[in-house]
């Protein structure tokens, strides 16, 4: 059974067009989106990027930790949302981080980004907390482990975000047809919703953003 569509195709087109209809916070954002298309590289896209910028504008986080940063697209949205925010990026691929550094320098925000190469969870465990926001976009099978980590490093009021939590509609497929990644996404979602330490919502933004506040 193929994955289900999250929205009607026309609605998806409408939302995608809206997300790019206004000016980006910096021209480098559009360059990064074009790079993602050229490389078929997964990024959160302008819909989620705008959402992250709004969160930063509202909450003024001091320190954001990204688990899986790619070439830095989402990180720029955080710092464009608040001049008080610094972001720690993690990625296994050093070439991605060098590309992220170059984009950040051109955008004039490199002094607020910190780059850490290696396995995201292993690297993050060596970094100094606490954090105001943890954003997770690593291999889906690692999502449950990231939840345990976030519970340790986020204090009351801390914000945890996961990308791809609708997983292109695979989460509504019959359980017997789930692969390892789908199982991990669903297990993580259920664990957060059932844990009294978290106040969670799964938002149908692009491929699904789960947002949970630490009680």
Mean pLDDT of the chain: 95
Q: Which long-range contacts (CB under 8 A, 24 or more apart) does 187-195 make?
A: 187/143, 187/144, 188/143, 188/144, 188/146, 188/147, 188/162, 189/165, 191/144, 191/147, 192/147, 192/160
Position 2 scores a pLDDT of 44
Please say if the pLDDT value at position 1 is more than 60.
Answer: no
Closest to 101 in 3D by CA, of 195, 157, 28, 208: 28
pLDDT digits (tens, 9 = 90+) for 177-194: 999 999 999 999 999 999
pLDDT tens for each residue of 135-156: 999 999 999 999 999 999 999 9
Q: What is the average per-residue pLDDT within 45-63?
A: 97
- Give the global pTM: 0.94
Q: In terms of pLDDT, which residue wins out, 2 or 48?
A: 48
């Amino acid at each position: 059974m193929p994955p289900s569509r999250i929205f009607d195709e026309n609605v998806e087109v409408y939302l995608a067009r809206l997300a790019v209809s206004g000016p980006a916070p910096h021209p480098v954002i559009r360059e990064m989106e074009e790079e993602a298309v050229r490389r078929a590289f997964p990024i959160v896209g302008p819909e989620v990027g705008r959402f992250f910028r709004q969160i930063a504008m509202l909450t003024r986080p001091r320190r954001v930790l990204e688990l899986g940063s790619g070439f830095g697209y989402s990180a720029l949205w955080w710092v464009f949302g608040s001049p008080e925010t610094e972001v720690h990026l993690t990625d296994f691929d050093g070439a991605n981080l060098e590309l992220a550094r170059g984009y950040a320098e051109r955008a004039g925000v490199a002094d607020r980004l910190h780059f850490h190469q290696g396995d995201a969870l292993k690297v993050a465990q060596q970094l100094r907390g606490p954090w105001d926001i943890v954003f997770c976009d690593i291999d889906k099978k690692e999502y449950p482990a990231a939840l345990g980590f976030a519970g340790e490093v986020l204090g009351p009021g801390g914000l945890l975000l996961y990308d791809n939590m609708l997983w292109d509609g695979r989460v509504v497929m019959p359980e017997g047809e789930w692969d390892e990644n789908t199982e991990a996404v669903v297990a993580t979602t259920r664990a957060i919703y059932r844990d009294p330490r978290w106040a969670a919502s799964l938002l149908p933004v692009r491929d699904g953003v789960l947002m949970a506040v630490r009680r």
